Structure 1
Amino acid sequence: MSFDGIVTRSVTYDLQQKLLSGRIVKIHQPYKTELVITIRTRGKNYTLFLSANPSFSRFHLTNEKYANPQEPPMFCMLLRKHLEGSILENIEQKGLERIVTFSFKGKNELGDVSYKTLIIELMGRHSNILFINQDDNKIIDSIKHIPPSLSSYRTVLPGQLYKDPPYLDKLNPLEVSEDELLKKLNFNEGKMEKQILNTFSGLSPQIIEEILKKEKFANRDTLPNAFLETLAPVKEHRYEPQMISNGSETFSVIDLSHKKGDRTIFNSVHEMLDRFFYGKAERDRVKQQAQDLEKFLRNEYNKNKKKIKKLEKTLTDADKAQKQQRFGELLTAHMHEVKEGDEYVTVTDYYDPEQNTVQIPLDPRKSPSDNAQLYFKRYHKLKNSVKVVTEQIEKTKEELMYLDQVIQQVENASPKDIEDIREELAEEGYIKRRIQKKQKKKQDKPVLDQYISSEGIDILVGKNNKQNEYLTNRFARQNDTWLHTKDIPGSHVVIRSEEFNEVTLVEAAKLAAYFSKSRHSSQVPVDYTLIRHVKKPSGSKPGYVTYDQQNTLFVTPSEDLVLTLRKK
């Protein structure tokens, strides 16, 4: 994946066609490094998404819905104060760099015209969004602050002059001629990929690979033509947004003929980016937000696995109970042959068909009678422990199933789901309840994920145990159809209708498979039955149910189907 200068150019060009002269209607900051700006133009609202996420920095129009924090961050409040109601006058990319400037015309508190600039710099972990006063080029604020202690090249703090990021001295590949290209590259030096990367701006390794593979040999005669031919669509704004899947996914706005795999062509670069980044940044946020939780759950899971091994060993030892009983009875029968202080005695084993002798260890400090009683005590203790250990093994297996389920839910959770999972674990006594500054109003009804099948039937999905319990035990009707992956941790899924065709059933099964531990598998078994046949055993863990009269489907999960069916 590469949000390079070419993708930046494609997005910038399309935004210029759609957003210029638009009015800023709303500004939100759903997460620390991301902005959502609603712009109204030509009677339509557009949602512009800007992200300085260190792993997924990008900007594009989006159809995704982002939850807003109860209290907007200071940077968001500042932008609202200065930009809401302003007109977007210009959008400009710096050469072919991943730096884009949004220029706004508005009015200040005195009613005078003011000009402000929002700059997004897409530079990996150094990505940033800066708010600039055009009159004096000073930084009003930025989404990330960079004090002198972090950078000797430039300071990014309110009141400082804005300075371009370093290393912007590369050539724009769209402006070079064939002769200039030949002068800049040393064909005797080799390492042509590195030379092109260090000489020209905005080119990702995959674009350079496309250039070099247009001809079998990159030499003075073939390279210039391949270079100019590859970049011609970019220069002329002829884009072909596409995603290529071949085990991993990549995206591009021009055709990458050297890349093998399944291609999906999109109507716009925004649609492509929305699809590619769907869930990726969210899962990254969840990973950071729930890192401690996931570590704790995995530790608990491993502890219980070790506990089962110890219990099974104890159960194996308990199988020796019959031997203890036999030694006690043999000692009693041969009591006259045992002398005090003996460490062992050899007697005829009446239980052996061949009447062989057996050596019985003794405690020399005890009398022959006490030694016999000691063996009987061990026998009764081991015999009684079998029942206890068996019960403990069953309870530990249930614990493992529960922890495995919660681990799967954390992996598939959205940021808003994590707090529900934390609350559940606190209620179950696994972790301490977090002290909240403000007691939030408890929500009686969890919010369920909603999907609509191809024939218009509602399908509901629970993403954590609170949602699963509400969906299955309270929300669903007796004749609704319930689905769950067979013997695999996953979500509860309900088809909210008594009448539907096989297409809806298969789509619901694919949703159940996707929101399970087998998301990346094929031919996943999914059980389905009516809600009336699903029961929650008394005292069982959250989300645990038993069911009968089920049938099983085998399906392969599809993220594209999830996106298609998701209720907007």
Structure 2
Amino acid sequence: MDIFSIEAVTRELQERVAGARVNKIHQPGPDDLIIRLWTGREELRLLLSAAPRLSRIHLTTRSYPNPFTPPRFCQLLRARLGRLLSLAQVPGERIMHLDFAGPGGEEYRLVLELFGRQANMLLLDAAGRIIDALHRVQGEGGKRSLLPGERYQAPQPREGMWLESGVPEIPTDLPFASWLSGQVIPMAPLVARNLAALVADGASPAAALGEFRGQWLDKRFAPTLGTLNGEAVLSAFALPALELSDARSFATMSEAADAYYYAQAFEVGRVGDRGELETVLRKGLKKLRSRLEKIESEQESLEDFDRQRQLGELLLANLHRVRKGMVEVVLDDYYQDPPAPVTIELDPQLSPQENAQRYFKGFKKGKRGVSHVARRIEESREELAWLEEAALALEEAQTPAEVDAVRRDLEEAGLIQPPAGPVSRRKVADPRDQLRKTETPGGFVLYWGKNNRTNDYLSRHLAEPDDLWFHAWQIPGCHLVLKRAAHKGAIPEEDLMFAASLAAGYSRGKDDSKVEVMVAEGREVHRPKGARPGLVTVARYRTVLVAPRRLEEE
């Protein structure tokens, strides 16, 4: 979060939350805190983050997961903070001071250092000593020591030309944007680029900087979110010279920051433990594929078990030619066409009959092994298909609730441990609330799932026997149902192909030019007994080849 965005948020918070009572404090992630504040009129949620690349402070209306067991720093803040007295930004720095009163009137200061990779939060007592830090830092290699019990040392202030004092003399031998970012305080990279673009269009550097200085001194903030060179950007001021695409203006800096950072945090896996689940799925898929490869190699080694029976029968038919003590015997193999000599190995310690029985035992063992291996292969393939569907659901997830649905599936499968605490406190999302829905050109209603749980609901409960069921052929994808309703005739080809294209679009083949899609009647789709949610067998189906399609609004 750049220095102007912090300043804009600070002014907003000073007006809205100064004096508010602390209702609750949550720590949804390792670097994030949410403080619920009661102002006397409304409850507001203040988000503080020391996440690398995403360090920030603003009000939020978004939903974030809440761990059952609060981490160490969160427990400390819950015990010490009672009321937010005031907020202030350190002039020219990306540092915030939030002053609180404790339950007994004690004074505390929560310091936010929003420095990217070195971002941190520290709780200080009235004497300026560190009670604790979100990230404790040993004072080694020139670093500041940030440990409990030590006096807090603020970072060295930046050196440069203060814009508040006036428009500084502008050098002519340095790139304007680089000079602004490196020497002028305060300054933000986007603002510097915008001013440089104005100069490139013919404006005087002094005039451009002077006009911006007046805008900043008057606090004429214009929170803006847009896209620049393919990347989302956030600014406390409008950036007319940069010509942002998809530019949006917001009434408050918190609203703009909430929209921008939620998308950024979700993308990098910092909302709903998405990153953790991606790691679990990646390791699980690798382990399963390795197991399946090993079992299939075992299957190859067992495929000659029937040969053991043939060799045993050859020995029984030629007992008169075999004597105890022989290590091998050459017999005519009439199982070959034409018959040919075969050398059969013998155990010299066994009688001819016992050697024959030894081969029959090998046949029985191999037969049992083949059946066992075939069952293990089928189970592993089902588990792999289920896990691949879960991985696709996580990729497609757009909200913490959808991420949590994947987490629940992995918990029930035993791949991750459920959080400590009473299960009853966890709100279970209704699968019906997570279905996607649209209509075909002919007006037939389509439903499709976002994860294994909603796919299971679709195929087992929503799909009627006469409805049509769709799924991408042999690749992970959604279950999609076309509701036939009162229509008794054949579904028009245009509607059928539209439904199939959506099933392809919400599958692993979404970026392919063509995808083969299964089409079956609802009565042909069943979940095997004991199978995990989302796994089905299809008795009869046909396939169609379509181009993948996704809803335009997505």
Normalising by structure 2, we get a TM-score of 0.65
Q: Which of 123, 140, 146 is the matching residue for 2:115?
A: 123
d(CA) in 1 for partners of 2:457 and 2:447? 11
In 2: Cα distance, 1:10 partner to 1:344 partner: 92
Matched, 1:284 2:282: no
Is the Cα contact below 8 Å between 2:21 and 2:83 reproduced in 1?
Answer: no
Distance 1:344 1:230 in 2: 99
Cα displacement string for residues 70-116 of structure 1 (whole angstroms, at most 9, x for unaligned residues): 89955775798424xx7x8x875723x32356799x9x999xxx999
Partner of 2:55: 57
For residues 319 and 439 of structure 1, the distance between their equivalents in structure 2, rounded to whole angstroms, comes to: 48
Query: Alpha-carbon deviation of 1:23?
Result: 8.1
Q: CA separation of 1:51/1:21 partners in 2, compared to 1, >3 Å: closer, same or farther?
A: closer
Structure 2 residue aligned with 1:535, among 515, 526, 535? 526
Cα distance, 1:391 vs structure 2 = 2.4
Q: Is residue 143 of structure 2 the alignment partner of residue 144 of structure 1? A: no
Matched, 1:168 2:158: yes
- Alignment partner of 1:386: what SS? helix
Moved more, 58-67 or 397-406: 58-67
For the residue of structure 2 that corresponds to 1:278, the secondary structure is helix
Q: Quick check: 1:39–1:48 contact (8 Å CA) kept in 2?
A: no
Deviation at 1:541, TM superposition (A): 1.6
Instruction: Give the Cα separation in 2 of the matches to 1:25 and 1:468.
Output: 44
Judged with a 3 Å threshold, the aligned counterparts in structure 2 of structure 1 residues 56 and 240 are, in CA distance, closer, same or farther, namely: closer
Match of 2:248 among 245, 248, 266: 266
Superposed displacement of residue 57, structure 1: 1.4
| Structure-2 change in CA distance of 1:78 and 1:510 (3 Å) | farther
Is 1:31 equivalent to 2:13 in the alignment?
Answer: no
Per-residue deviation, residues 133-156 of structure 1 (Å, max 9, x unmatched): 9xx896898873758879974768
Q: CA deviation at 1:389?
A: 2.5
Counterparts of 2:6 and 2:412, CA distance in 1: 47
Q: CA deviation at 1:306?
A: 3.2
SS in 2 for 1:543: coil
Q: Which whole-Å CA distance do the structure 2 matches of 1:54 and 1:412 have between them?
A: 24
Q: Are the equivalent residues in 2 in contact too, given 1:26–1:39 (CA < 8 A)?
A: yes
Corresponding residue for residue 305 of structure 1: 289
462-471 or 303-312, which deviates more: 462-471
| Deviation per residue, 1:149-201 (Å, 9 max, x gap) | 7997476879x987643343344578785745469x6x9xxxx9998766556
Distance 2:381 2:35 in 1: 46
**Alignment partner of 1:316 is 2:300:** yes
Q: Give the match for residue 566 of structure 1.
A: none
Distance 1:491 1:130, change over 3 A: farther
1:82 lines up with 2:67 in the alignment: no
AA aligned to 1:94 is P
Distance in 2, matches of 1:161 and 1:326, equals: 86
Give the drift of 1:396: 1.9
Query: Residues 268-417 of structure 1 correspond to what in structure 2 (within 5 A)?
Result: 268=250, 273-282=257-266, 284-285=269-270, 291=276, 298-353=282-337, 355-408=339-392
Q: Tell me, yes or no, if structure 1 residue 251 matches structure 2 residue 233.
A: yes
3-state SS of the aligned residue for 2:269? Answer: helix
Segment of structure 1 superposing worse, 204-213 or 51-60 = 204-213
- CA–CA separation in structure 2 for the residues paired with 1:474 and 1:153: 60
Mark the runs of 5 or more structure 1 residues left unpaired by the alignment.
Answer: 217-221, 563-568
Find the residue that maps to 1:307 and give its secondary structure: helix
Indicate conservation of the 8 Å contact 1:483/1:528, yes or no: yes
Following superposition, the deviation at residue 320 of structure 1 comes to 1.8
1:170–1:199 contact (8 Å) kept in structure 2:
yes
Counterpart contact for 1:483–1:494, Cα < 8 Å: yes
For the residues of structure 1 that align with 2:21 and 2:356, how far apart are their CA atoms?
90
The superposition leaves residues 493-540 of structure 1 with CA deviations (integer Å, 9 ceiling, x where unpaired) of 7899969xx99x9899879966x6678888777778887765333221
CA shift for structure 1 position 393: 1.5
Q: Provide the rounded CA distance (Å) in 1 between the counterparts of 2:132 and 2:501.
A: 46
Q: Distance in 2 between matches of 1:512 and 1:449?
A: 22
| 1:226 to 1:45, Cα distance in 2 relative to 1, 3 A | farther
Structure 1 pair 243–385 and aligned structure 2 pair: CA distance change class (3 A): same
1:99 maps to what in 2?
Answer: 95
Contact in 2 for aligned 1:197/1:204 (Cα 8 Å) = yes
The CA distance in 2 between the partners of 1:458 and 1:99, in whole Å, is 53
Q: Would the aligned equivalents of 2:22 and 2:81 in 1 still touch at CA under 8 Å? A: yes
Of stretches 32-41 and 347-356 in structure 1, the one that deviates more from structure 2 is 32-41
- Per-residue deviation at 1:387? 3.2
> Secondary structure in 2 aligned to 1:358?
strand
Residue pair 2:64, 2:271 contacting (<8 A) in 1 also: no
What is the one-letter code of the residue matched to 1:57?
S
Determine the C-alpha separation between the residues in 2 that align with 1:529 and 1:440: 38
Note the alpha carbon deviations across 1:332-372, whole angstroms, 9 max, x for none: 45544445433333344444445543333333333344333
State the number of aligned residues. 525
Shift of 1:312: 2.2
- C-alpha distance in 2, partners of 1:511/1:228? 57
CA distance in structure 1 between the partners assigned to 2:283 and 2:62 by the alignment: 35
Whether the 8 Å CA contact 2:472–2:503 is kept in 1: the answer is no
Displacement, 1:423? 6.3
Gaps in structure 2 of 5+ consecutive residues: 216-220, 487-493
- The one-letter code matched in structure 1 to 2:156 is P
Q: CA deviation at 1:448?
A: 6.1
Structure 2 Cα separation of the partners of residues 109 and 322 of structure 1:
84
Percent of paired sites with the same residue = 25
Q: Distance in 1 between matches of 2:10 and 2:53?
A: 21
Once residues 31 and 210 of structure 1 are traced to their aligned partners in structure 2, the CA distance between those partners, rounded to angstroms, is 37
Gap change, CA 1:317 and 1:407, over 3 Å in 2: same
- Contact 1:449–1:462, Cα closer than 8 Å, also in 2: no
Following TM superposition, by how much is the alpha carbon of 1:66 offset from its aligned partner in structure 2, in angstroms? 4.3
Residues 1:127 and 1:366: Cα distance change in structure 2 (over 3 Å): same
Contact 2:167–2:210 (Cα < 8 Å) also in 1: no
Provide closer, same or farther for how the CA distance between residues 389 and 549 of structure 1 changes in structure 2, counting only shifts above 3 A: closer
2:553 aligns with 561
How far does residue 284 in structure 1 lie from its aligned partner after superposition? 3.4
Structure 1 Cα separation of the partners of residues 67 and 320 of structure 2 = 85
